[in-house]
Amino acid sequence: MLLFPLMKKGLGQERLLIKKIKNGKERVYEKGSKVTYIRFHEDEYKTGFLNALFDSAVAVGKDTIALKDIVGIRKKNPLHKIARIAGMPLILMGSIYMGQGAATMYSNPESDIGIKILLTGAGIFAVGYFLYYLEQEDFTFGLGGEHTLEIHR
């Protein structure tokens, strides 16, 4: 008979557990992980490293935040940075094409080349805008939230 049950890797560590209410799907942040969070009544997300876990609070960077004050955590996604980087030049290129199309329409109103350039630029701009403003997945907590936030030791 085993005196100690077999332990999974990392089971003994303190961690922040996010659990989806509907299906029980879990996401774990361990100490030292990078966390992007938003507090109740704030407008911007802040990012920091998870330094310590207390009974009902966490220390992220230099801040100590009560769990009840956290209303959202953003899921880290490396594709988000790539999409933003790809979107910036497309927005710029689309703007240039739209300007060129408008100038061509003004200088040569009988031709339909200006409208084609303008519409091409608008399409390129739209794709760039979509990529640049593609949002990361948010875990929401509190009233109306889809997830719960717990500390496991």
67-116 confidence digits (pLDDT tens): 888 888 877 777 878 888 999 999 999 999 999 999 999 999 888 999 99
- Strand-pairing partners, residue 20, are 147
Please state whether the predicted TM-score (pTM) of the whole model is above 0.75: no
C-alpha neighbours within 13 Å on the C-beta side of residue 106: 6
User: For residue 23, what are the contacts with CB-CB under 8 A and spacing of at least 6?
Assistant: none
